[in-house]
Amino acid sequence: VGVAEQFSTCAALQRYALALFARALAGAAPSAGSGAHLEGGDGEPDAVPMFSLKGGGLARILTRLNAAGLAVQAVKKHHADGTLVVSACQVMQSLAGASKEVKLFMVSPDCCALWNTLLVHSKLGDAAALATLCMLAAVVTDDSEIQDAVGSAPGWFGTLERRLDARKHSAHSGHNDLRLQEREISAIFGLLCRLTARNMKNKHACMSTNLPAHAVECCRPSVDGAASLAVRLAAGGLLVNLCAEEAGR
C-alpha cells in the first residue's frame, strides 16, 4: 500500500497493486470462486465484484492501511483504465464488508460524484461501469443510511435513466456488446431495487424520472424480442417496490 501511494501517478503500478489486493481478498473470502467475470479488451477475464459482502482479517488490515482511499485516488487519476477500475471496485467492495467506515467513505459526496462521472463517461456495457454498479448495489443492501447517501447524490437517478435510454440505440451492436449491455441493465435495475426498498424518498426520486417506464418496457414482450430473464426479474422487482406506494400505482 505504501509503495502504491508513493507512486500514485504510475498507472501500471496502481493497476497491479489493486489487482493483487483484489485477488488476495477474494482468496481470503469463503466461496471465492462464486464471483462473476467479464472479458476485458485483451480477452482476459476481469473479475466483477460479488454481491455478497465478506470481510476477514486481511480486509481489516488493508482497511487500517487505507487501501480504500488508495483505490479511490487511483480511479480518480486513471479512470480511463477499465481494468484498474474493476479491480478498485472489487477491493472497495471487499473492504466495505469489514468496515462500516469504508462503506460510508464509498458513498461520501466526493465518491458518489466520482461514480456518477464514471457512468456518465462510459459506454453502456463497459466492464468498469458494471463493476461500479455491482459494487454500489452490494454496499446499499439493507442499509438505510447508505441508501440515503446514494439516493441524494446530485444527478444520480438521471444518470441511470440516461444509461437505460442508451439501450434503445444499441440494436446494431455486436453479440458480445449486447450480452454485456444486458448485464449492466440488470445491474442498474438491481441497484434501483436496493435503493428503493423501504425508502420513500428514493421511491419518489425514482418515480420523478422515466425509470419506471423503462422497467415496464423491459418486462413487456416486444417485436425485437423480450429482455433477458435477469433483466425482467430485476425490472419487475423495481416495479414491485414502487407499486407498494399508492403514487407508484
Cell numbers 462521472 correspond to 117
Distance, CA of 65 to CA of 102 (rounded, Å): 12
The SS3 of residue 165 is helix
What does the radius of gyration of the chain's CA atoms come to, in whole angstroms? 18
Residue 21, all three cell numbers? 489486493
Note the pLDDT of residue 21.
Answer: 94
Give the closest residue to 189 by CA, choosing from 168, 208, 215: 215
Residue 117, all three cell numbers? 462521472
Spatial CB neighbours of 207, under 8 Å, sequence gap ≥ 6: 242, 247, 248
Residue 101, all three cell numbers? 467506515
| Angular region, 142: left φ>0, alpha ψ -120 to 50, beta rest | left
Note the pLDDT of residue 43.
Answer: 46
Taking 70 as the pLDDT cut, the residues of the chain under it are 28-56, 169-176, 222-226, 245-249
Map out the domains of the chain as residue ranges.
Answer: 1-108
Note the pLDDT of residue 45.
Answer: 45
Note the pLDDT of residue 248.
Answer: 53
- Give me the count of residues in the chain: 249
Q: Give me the helices (H) in the chain, please.
A: 2-6, 11-28, 57-64, 67-77, 82-96, 100-106, 109-120, 127-140, 144-151, 156-165, 175-196, 200-207, 211-219, 229-243
Question: Each residue of 25-49: pLDDT tens digit?
Answer: 987 554 434 344 444 444 444 544 4
Query: Dihedral, CA atoms, 73, 79, 84, 88, nearest 10 degrees?
Result: 50
Phi, psi values for residue 33, rounded to 5° = -75, 0
Query: Dihedral, CA atoms, 223, 224, 225, 230, nearest 10 degrees?
Result: -130
Residue 224, all three cell numbers? 425485437
